[in-house]
Structure formats: C-alpha cells, structure tokens
Chains A and B, each alone.
Chain A
Amino acid sequence: MISSYYFGAIALVLIGLYAVLVKKNLLKILIGLSIMETGVNLLLISIGYVSGRSAPILSEGIGPNQAVDPIPQALVLTAIVIGVATTAMALSVAIILYEKYGTLNIEEIRRLRG
C-alpha cells in the first residue's frame, strides 16, 4: 500500500506537469511550475520521515536515534530558496513579455515573434 504522503506529493507533481504541458496562459504555466515544485519538496521531506520520531534538533532527551532524517530537510530548504528565486525571475520575464507583446498566450507570443 503506497503511503498517502507519496501519493499526495506525486499527484501534486503530476497536476503541475499537466498545467505546464497543456495550459496556454503563461501565468498558469508558472503556477503549474510552482505546484510541481511544492510537490517535489513534499516528496523529498516524506522520504526522510521515520514514523514516530521527532524533529532533528538535538536537545534534552532527543539523540540522533530519535530524530527523523535531517538530510532531506536541508535539501528542501535549498530547493525552496531556488524555487522562489526561479519563480520570481520567471514572473519578471512574464511582465516583460506582456509589456512587449501585449498578451500572455504562449502560442500568440510565438506567432508574434515570427
């Protein structure tokens, strides 16, 4: 039986992928990318989860053996930052595209570009 965390995370990735592949509006594609990114982050976190353990902060009464895997969390922290950065950059590109072409439909933009 597949874990519901995995199922949910992969479902989010697929929803994002669907938006990227099919939607024609640039902003919707960017939303799709964002959703995909969230899905990937969730998947990474859920890989490191060990049932019944606490957060990986060493303190009174919690040794290395009582914590969940800390590596995916570090990884995801990085991935979130990268994701935000790329989204911000993509949005700024979208603004420029709109200023230049007056539309956000990617097929229209391709046609206008010639």
Chain B
Amino acid sequence: MNELLLAVIFSPLVAGFLAWLFNVKGIREGIGVIGALIPLIGLIKLYPSLGQGVSYTITVGGFKLGFMMSHLNWIFSMIAAVVGVSAILGMVSTAKDGYEWLFALMSLTGALGIFTAQDLVVFFIFWEIMTFASFMMVLKFNRAASLKYFLLSIMGAYAMLVAIGLIYAKTGSFSFSDISAFFGKEAVSTMLGGTPAFSKLDVALIYLLFLLAFGVKAGMFPLHVWAPDAYSETDQSYTAIFSGVLSKAGVYGFILLYILMYGKLLIDLGQVRSAPAFGYVIAFLGGLTIIVGGILAALQEDIRRLFAYSSISQVGYILVGLGIGTSLGIEAAIYHAISHALFKGLFFLIVATLIYRTGKTEFKDFGGLAEKMPFTFTMAFIAILSLAGIPPLVGFASKWLIFEAVISQNLPILGGMVFFGSAIGFVYLIRFTYAVWFGQRPSDIEDTKDAPLPLAIGMAILGTLNVVFGVAPGIIAKELNAIFGRTVIGGNIWELELGFGRYNALLVTIWLVIGLLIAGILYFLGASTRKVPVTDTYQSGNPVTMDYNLTIRRNFFLPLKEAVAFWLRISFDKLYRDVWKSIEDFAETARNYIYNGNVQAYAWYLAIILLILAAMGV
C-alpha cells in the first residue's frame, strides 16, 4: 500500500520523461494521460487506508526523504490529481511538443510531492521542482514573464530556506511532527514564564520569511505581480494546473504554518480582535488581494489576463478564510481551495478551447459563440455560476462558508472586503458572458467548431464535479471534518449546518428546477417568439451592421477605469521595476567609479587593503 504513495508522486514525472523521449505524436499524448491518471487512481485506492496513516521513506545518500498521507494531504493531492488529469487531457489538444509534456507533468509531481511531504527538506525540494517546471513552461512562451515569475519565486524560496535553517538550528529536526511538538512545548513554556529557545524576534522573522515564500506562490497582494503575466503567457491548458494546483501550494504552506507553530505565533504575536495577529495579517492581505485582483480583472481587455486576475482575486478568499484561524475558517478556506481549483481549472480550459478554436485572445474579437460552441458554452455557464457563487454550484457553498466564518468572528473590515470581492466578481463575469458568448459574431469566427474531444472530456470532468459538489456539498464537508476529527460543519450530504446558519443545496436545486420548469412551460405555451437577426436590430433608428462592434467588447468598464484612475497609477509592478532599475543604476555607477581603468588606482586599493590587513594583525 505504501509503495503506491511513491507511484502516486512520481508517475507523472516518469511519464513526462518518457513522453519527452518518445516525442512522437500520439505516443506522447497516451503516455502523458496515463501518467496523470495513475495518481488519481492511486489516491482513490489509498483512501480506505488513510486512517492507519500511510507513509513512505526513501533513503538517498544517507538522507531520509519522508512522504505521508493523512486526510489533509489527501484532499490537497486529490485537487492536484483531478485538475491535473483534466488539464493534461486539455493538453492533448493544445500542447505542441514533448517539452511541454515533460514540464507540465513535472510540475504535477512537484505539487503532489509538496502536498505529501513529511518534512521541510522534502517540502523544499518539491517546491523547487514545481517552480522550475512551471518556469520552464512560461519560458517557452514569454521570456520576460518567466523571468519575473522566476525572480519572485526564487526570492520566496530563499526566504523559505533561511526560515527552515533558523528552525533547524534550534530544533535540530526537519520533520513536521518534531517541529510541531517542539513549538507546542515552547508555547507552553512561554506562557509559564520560562525562557524560550526562540525569542519573539526569531518567531516574527520566521513568520515573515514564510509569509514571503508562501505569499509569492499563492499570488498574495502585493506579491501577485508575476501571476497575470505568467498565467496568460503559457499553454492555456497548463494554466489550469498553474492556477488550480500550483497556487494551492502557497495555501497549503500557510496551513503548514498553522500546523507547525500555531500556539507559539499566537502567544508571541498576540491577537487582533478575535483573530490571531499573524493570521489577521494573512487575512487582511488576502482581502486586499480580493479587491485589487477583482478591480484589475474588470479592466482587462485580454481574456487570459481577466482570468489571471480573477484567479488572484479568488485565492484572496482562501487567505481570508485561513487567516481567521478558527477551525471553521480553515475548513472554509480548504473548501474554497477545492472549489477554486474546480471552477478556475474549468475556466482556463474554456479559455484554452476559445484560443485553440479561434486563435484570438482579446474581447473585441469575440462574440456570439454560444450558438457555435454549445458544449463549451454550457461549461462556461457552469463555471460562471460557480465562480460568482450562485446556489446550486460548489462556488456558493465555499463562499458561504467563508462569509459565515468571517461574520461569526465579528471582523467587519474583512467582511466588507469579502462582500466587495463578490460584487466585483459579477462585474468581470458579466463582461466575459456577454462579450464572448452573446451579441454579434464577427464574421471571421463564423465557422468556429466546438471543443475537440480531449478538451471536452477535461472540461466535462471539472464541470460535473462543480455541479455534483454543488448539489451535495456535504461530501466535501465530511472529508474536511475528518481533518479536525470532529464535526465543524454539520448537516448531511445535501445540507451544511453551522449552528447559526444552514444551507440546503438539494432544496435550492429542487426549487430551481421547478422554477425552470414553470418558466419553460410558460415559454413553450405562451410566448410567440421569432429569431431576430442582427440586421433587424436598430440603434438610434439606424440598423446595426455586422461589422459594428458592440461597446461591451471594448473598454466596457471605462467609467470604472476613470473612477479608479488615481489608484491605478500606484502599481506594484512598476514599483518593483523601479527598485530593480535603481539597483542596476547604482551598481553600474559604483562599477564605473571603482573600475576606472587607472592602474595606479588599483595599486592604491592594493596598498589600502594591505594596510587594513596589517592593522587587523593578519
């Protein structure tokens, strides 16, 4: 059973190498899909034995690399496996060569390794595998975007490495359980007035370093600047993994922070209102992420960038839920991580389909595709409803839980941010709905076909899960309760019950279906409809011609843009660029000043250094 864990983690990587070696169309797709399917099958097989604790240790050159699988690991690995399979199916249509297969599957292995790591070394190694693989994926499409991503990621990775070093120096162990036990003891001894091994400053430093490391990966404001570029400038099927799975690695990291040093952080850093201070920082930054990501998403003219910003915005919800730090908050956050992976993965596969079929990326080139691509439109409809949080879909259940978690802890500012985020979510989704699917169809995409089969299967997997988990939200709630070992979210399979609020998804679905039936009956019995061609619509008395471009497709939110123009000028992207530029300028000036080409100056440096060495008594 335990060897199965190893197969789960490494089969994508092996498949990726094989697909890269046998770079023949047909063979590499088959190998890739099998490599992505093995983890999914393995994880389902592992599920019954989760209670006994599944673990596996490889010994490499004297180092022990430990993997384990508990309920929490299983849920996150499952996210990776499901979205992975769907995205890999999408890649059958969109990927062009073995290079893409290698690195897409490698990043899947990286994510699975992170989610099953038993100690900080394994965690870090797979973190880097994941970063490297996703960097290579972006590099193939856009050099500048990949370098920005890489630079921020590497900064985060170094921060994490320093933090791991600080922890190891005093605890003497990399294993999660040892560190967790050590910090637990620390917290108690601090409370009793003893002198702890980690001073307040140490703890704050470790926390900030981890915040930087995980914040970059999760796309937390103000470290989100890499995400819009990296998400949009790569194979769009792969972006489903990128946004759906890899951003969850940052979220998982924050959960890890809770597991490792919750008590210590709580005692040393204090509380803000009813939340722990360190969590409140995460939650507040998450709230800002929601707002900034949401507004910027509404202002995008490029379909890929809209969803990139939207993805950033949605991860903000997860951070808010995590930051509150109650068991309900954390469960809500993980719930939203699941639903985010499902609907965001679906969205990016839809974008992949649109780009694959039309070759266009800007809103102004789309329109009226609902007739031409009915299946993709259905999937887009599910994804839109799910992201916006319309009841019988999974997005509603998770957002509702986050709202309840925020409200129950009496955090008005965070509550305001979360509610605002939901409103802005509608704003950009309306844009996507109308500009792409409805309205006039430009003549050059007149003969667009529906999604190719593999992409359709990938979308169908995610779309079905969106609906199934939406109608039966209790399935996920049951798994989440298993993490804490008690009932945090009550109710049965159809209903979520928190004690101060309940949501019955089945009832909502039934009423919805009844409502739709009534509407359908009225429509077919009563309405006398006729199809209105575009040339039969009028604007100011003039017929609208085919080449007339509807306003919604271009600069639709121009008033909003003008309203927030002042804030748009404050760009962190620009700030980082300026800081980088001034560092470069400074280095250039210093170099010119020191290496001035004058031989006697170098002789002086030598003499001065000798003098200093003599003064130091070397």
A interface residues, Cβ below 8 angstroms from B: 17, 20-22, 106, 110
Considering the complex, give the chain B residue whose CB is closest to the CB of A17: B607
- Cβ–Cβ contact B607 & A106, under 8 A: no
- Cβ–Cβ contact A21 & B607, under 8 A: yes
- Cβ–Cβ contact B603 & A21, under 8 A: yes
A106 contact set on B, CB distance < 8 A: 599-600
Contact sample, A vs B, 13 pairs, CB 8 Å cutoff: A17-B603, A17-B607, A20-B600, A20-B603, A21-B600, A21-B603, A21-B604, A21-B607, A22-B600, A106-B599, A106-B600, A110-B597, A110-B598
Among B599, B600, B604, B607, residue most surrounded by chain A Cβ atoms (within 10 Å): B600
Interface SS of chain A = helix
- Nearest Cβ distance between residue A40 and chain B, in whole angstroms? 13
Assembled-state Cα–Cα distance A110/B607 (Å): 22
B607 contact set on A, CB distance < 8 A: 17, 21
Assembled-state Cα–Cα distance A106/B599 (Å): 9
Assembled-state Cα–Cα distance A108/B604 (Å): 19
Considering the complex, give the chain A residue whose CB is closest to the CB of B596: A110
Assembled-state Cα–Cα distance A22/B598 (Å): 12
Within 8 A of A (CB), among B587-618: 597-600, 603-604, 607
- Nearest Cβ distance between residue B522 and chain A, in whole angstroms? 89
Interface SS of chain B = helix
What 9 A-B pairs are tightest by C-beta distance, nearest first? A20-B603, A21-B603, A21-B604, A17-B607, A21-B607, A21-B600, A110-B598, A106-B599, A106-B600
Considering the complex, give the chain B residue whose CB is closest to the CB of A18: B607
Assembled-state Cα–Cα distance A44/B228 (Å): 66
Assembled-state Cα–Cα distance A20/B603 (Å): 7
- Nearest Cβ distance between residue B115 and chain A, in whole angstroms? 62
- Nearest Cβ distance between residue A45 and chain B, in whole angstroms? 21
Assembled-state Cα–Cα distance A110/B601 (Å): 13
Assembled-state Cα–Cα distance A20/B598 (Å): 12
B597 contact set on A, CB distance < 8 A: 110
Assembled-state Cα–Cα distance A20/B602 (Å): 11
B599 contact set on A, CB distance < 8 A: 106
- Nearest Cβ distance between residue B614 and chain A, in whole angstroms? 11
Considering the complex, give the chain B residue whose CB is closest to the CB of A22: B600
Assembled-state Cα–Cα distance A21/B607 (Å): 9
Assembled-state Cα–Cα distance A106/B597 (Å): 11
Assembled-state Cα–Cα distance A17/B602 (Å): 12
Considering the complex, give the chain A residue whose CB is closest to the CB of B610: A17
Assembled-state Cα–Cα distance A21/B604 (Å): 6
- Nearest Cβ distance between residue A20 and chain B, in whole angstroms? 5
Given contacts A20-B600, A106-B599, A110-B597, 10 further A-B contacts (CB under 8 A): A17-B603, A17-B607, A20-B603, A21-B600, A21-B603, A21-B604, A21-B607, A22-B600, A106-B600, A110-B598
A22 contact set on B, CB distance < 8 A: 600
A17 contact set on B, CB distance < 8 A: 603, 607
Assembled-state Cα–Cα distance A99/B599 (Å): 20
Assembled-state Cα–Cα distance A20/B607 (Å): 10
B598 contact set on A, CB distance < 8 A: 110
- Nearest Cβ distance between residue B272 and chain A, in whole angstroms? 62
Considering the complex, give the chain B residue whose CB is closest to the CB of A14: B607
A21 contact set on B, CB distance < 8 A: 600, 603-604, 607
Considering the complex, give the chain A residue whose CB is closest to the CB of B600: A21
- Nearest Cβ distance between residue B596 and chain A, in whole angstroms? 10
Assembled-state Cα–Cα distance A106/B604 (Å): 15
Assembled-state Cα–Cα distance A22/B604 (Å): 9
Assembled-state Cα–Cα distance A17/B599 (Å): 13
- Nearest Cβ distance between residue A101 and chain B, in whole angstroms? 15
Assembled-state Cα–Cα distance A21/B598 (Å): 11
B604 contact set on A, CB distance < 8 A: 21
Assembled-state Cα–Cα distance A21/B597 (Å): 14
